[in-house]
A and B are shown apart, each in its own frame.
Chain A
Amino acid sequence: MKVKIGLEVHVQITSLKTKLFCSCSSDYRGKEPNVNVCPVCMGLPGALPVLNEKAVREAVKVALALNSKVSRRMFFYRKNYFYPDMPKNFQITQYDRAGGVPLAMGGYVNLDGKKIRIERIQLEEDPGKITYEGTIVSSPVSLIDYNRAGIALIEIVTEPDMESPKEARHFLEKLRSMVEHLGICDCSLEGAMRCDANISIEGGKRVEVKNISSFKEVERALNFELTRQLTLSKRGLGVRKETRHWDEVRRITISLRVKEEEEDYRYFPEPDLVPIEISEGLIEEVKREMPELPEERGRRFFEEYGISKRMAEVLISKKALADFFEDATRDGDPRKVVSLLGEALSYMNREGKELADLNLNPREFGILSKAVAEGRISERMAKDLLRRALIKSKPLKELMRRAKKQISDERSIAKMVDEVVRANRNAVMDAFRDEKAKDFLMGEIMKLSKGRADPRLARILLEKRLEEVKTESF
C-alpha cells in the first residue's frame, strides 16, 4: 500500500529580537501573559505593520540551505479567517496563487538517499496562544495570550514525498538540525518548531492532521492516522477529505468538526506593506555568510576524525550533539569520544533527556576519552564512571579525580598480587586453609599499593592467583 505524507513545518525565527511586524520583544517564553504587546500585534484599530528586515534575511538563509529558488520580488498577502487567537482575524502571510509570490519555491532535502521536495517557503506571523481551562472541549472559555502573536515564522511546505511516518520524523530531524546550524531557530524551545501533516493512502482522500507538538508526536500521530485509514479502507469505507486534530493525551486523531460551511480564505495583497525585492547582492552576501551545514559537517567528521558514517549521521542530527562532539574532541580522542557518547546517548534515550539537561562538560569528556585511548583507564571503567556521573549528575572531573586515587586496572593489581605471593610463601601455604592468612596477604597488597588498589578487584585477583599456585604445587 502506497502512503503519501507531506508536511507543513512552522519554524519560529528565534534569532530575532523583535516580532515580524512590530518592535515588541520576541522573548515571550516564561513571561506573564500579554506583556509583549503593542497596538500592532494586538490588532488595535489604526495600527500598521512594518517588516523586520532581519526576518527576510533569515528566511533567505533557510531557502538557500534547502536549495530553493528565492523570489526576486514578492508580496505579503492577507489570509482571511476568524479565530479567537487571531488579533486581526486575518494572518499576514504569503501566497503562491492569485498573483502571489512566496519568498522561495522549489528545493529539496536529501533523506536516506532520496529527495524530499520542497514546494514553497514563506514568511508569516504567529497567532496568539490559547489556554484552556481543562481541555479544548470542556473549557467554558478560552484565555488568550498575545505575547506570541506576531512572532516571525518561516513556513516550509513539502511535496507529499514521504512514504512512512518514520520517514516524516527523519525529515523533521534533518530540518531541525539544519535550522539549528543556520542559527535561526533554537528548536529546544517549546513550540519553536511545529508542524501539520497531511497523509493519504492509495485510493483515499488527503487528511490533514493538526496540533502536532513534537517530532515524536509526528510519528505517533501519523501512525495512528495511517492505521485508521487502512482500517477504513479494508472495510471498504472510503477515507474522506478532512482536517483532524491530534489528541496527545488520548493518542488519537479526532475530527475537530465537520464544517457546515466551506472555509474560503479570500487571499489578497496586504495593502499596508510594500513589495520586497531581493537583490542578487543580498543573496550572494547570505551565501558567503552561510555556516557549515549538517551534511557537510557529517562528511567532515567522517574524513577528519575517522569515525563511522553512521556515527557521523547520529552526531549531526542535532547541532548540540555535533558541537559537543567537536568540543570534546579538541582535548580528546575522536573514536573514544564517540564510544563514550554512545553510552550517554543510550542513557538519554532511556531517561528521555536532552544533552542540555545533562551536567556534562565536553572538555572533561575529552580528557576522559584521552585517558582511555592512552590506556590509563579501561574503557569499561570510563563508561562506568560516565554512567555514575550521569546518574548522580556530578561533574566528570570530580569522579575522575577520585578514580585516579584508586588503582583499579587489572594488570597493575595483578602485578602487585604476584609480588606479594612470591615474597610470602609461608603465608600463601597457610592461606589454602586459613582465611586469616588471606587477610594478611590482602593487607600486604594494600600496603604495596599504598592503599590505592581497588580492594574488590585485588581480592578476586588474589583468589585467582592462589588457585594457580595450588595447582602448580600439586
Chain B
Amino acid sequence: MKLITKKRLKHLSWLSKIELRREEREFEEQLNEILEYFKKLDEVDLKGVEPLYHVLELKNVFREDAPKPSNPGEMLKVVPRLKGRYVRAPRIK
C-alpha cells in the first residue's frame, strides 16, 4: 500500500508551505520507497520502551530574569522588506 498518494502529497505540501510542481511525480515514488525502508522499525519489539528524546541527563537549565540590551539595528538589517520599523509581510486574507 502506498502511503504517499497524490492527495496526501498535496496536503503535506500545504502543511509545509512547499509548492511541488515538477518534483511531484518523482517525489511520490521516492518518498514511498523511503517510507518502505522506514517500515524496518516495525520489526523491533519496543514494548515497554520509553522514547529517548534527550541523550543527555540534563534538566532545569535556566536563565536569570535579567534584561540584556537588544541590538535592533543589526536585527533589522537582514529583513528583506521593511515599512518604517515594521517588518513588512504579505496580507492575511
Contacts and interface: CB of A to CB of B under 8 A. Distances in A.
B is a partner of A: yes
Interface of A: 16-18, 23-26, 32-39, 42, 44, 50-56, 73, 75, 82, 84, 99, 130-132, 136-137, 139-146, 257, 260-261, 264, 266, 269, 271, 273-277
A71 to B, nearest CB: 13
22 contacts: A17-B67, A18-B63, A18-B67, A33-B86, A42-B75, A51-B63, A52-B63, A56-B62, A84-B90, A84-B92, A99-B51, A130-B89, A136-B92, A136-B93, A140-B91, A141-B91, A143-B88, A261-B14, A266-B15, A271-B54, A273-B61, A274-B58
B59 A53 contact: no
Contacts, number: 127
B65 interface: yes
Given A271-B53, A274-B54, A277-B60, A33 B84 contact: yes
A261 B90 contact: no
B59 A37 contact: no
B11 interface: yes
B49 interface: no
Contacts of A39: 75
> Which of B14, B61, B91 has the largest number of chain A CB atoms within 10 A?
B91
Contacts of B56: 274
Contacts of A32: 85
B66 A143 contact: no
Given A136-B92, A264-B15, A275-B59, A35 B70 contact: yes
Contacts of A264: 15
Given A24-B67, A25-B67, A264-B15, A143 B59 contact: no
A445 to B, nearest CB: 67
Interface residues on B, range: 35 or more
Contacts of A266: 15
A143 B68 contact: no
Given A144-B87, A274-B58, A23 B66 contact: yes
Contacts of A99: 51
A261 B65 contact: no
A385 B59 CA distance: 61
A139 B92 contact: yes
A141 B88 contact: yes
A54 B53 contact: no
Given A36-B70, A42-B75, A130-B92, A17 B59 contact: no
Specify the main secondary structure of chain A where it touches its partner.
loop
Nearest to B14: A261
B16 to A, nearest CB: 9
A250 to B, nearest CB: 15
B43 interface: no
Given A25-B67, A35-B72, A82-B17, A143 B62 contact: no
B70 A38 contact: yes
Contact of B89 (A26, A50, A143, A273): A143
Nearest to A276: B60
Given A44-B78, A141-B90, 19 more contacts: A16-B65, A18-B67, A25-B67, A34-B76, A35-B70, A38-B68, A55-B65, A84-B90, A132-B92, A136-B92, A136-B93, A141-B91, A142-B90, A269-B53, A271-B53, A274-B54, A275-B59, A276-B59, A277-B60
Nearest to A99: B51
A361 B60 CA distance: 45
B47 interface: no
A37 B72 contact: yes
B64 interface: yes
A438 B63 CA distance: 82
A37 B15 CA distance: 28
B22 interface: no
A271 to B, nearest CB: 7
Contacts of A53: 62-65
Contacts of A52: 62-63, 65
B40 interface: no
A50 B61 contact: yes
Contacts of B61: 50-51, 273-274
Contact of A50 (B14, B62, B66, B67): B62
> Which of A18, A34, A273 has the largest number of chain B CB atoms within 10 A?
A34
Contact of B59 (A44, A84, A144, A277): A277
Nearest to B83: A143
> Which of B76, B84, B87, B90 has the largest number of chain A CB atoms within 10 A?
B87
A470 B63 CA distance: 88
Contacts of A145: 85-87
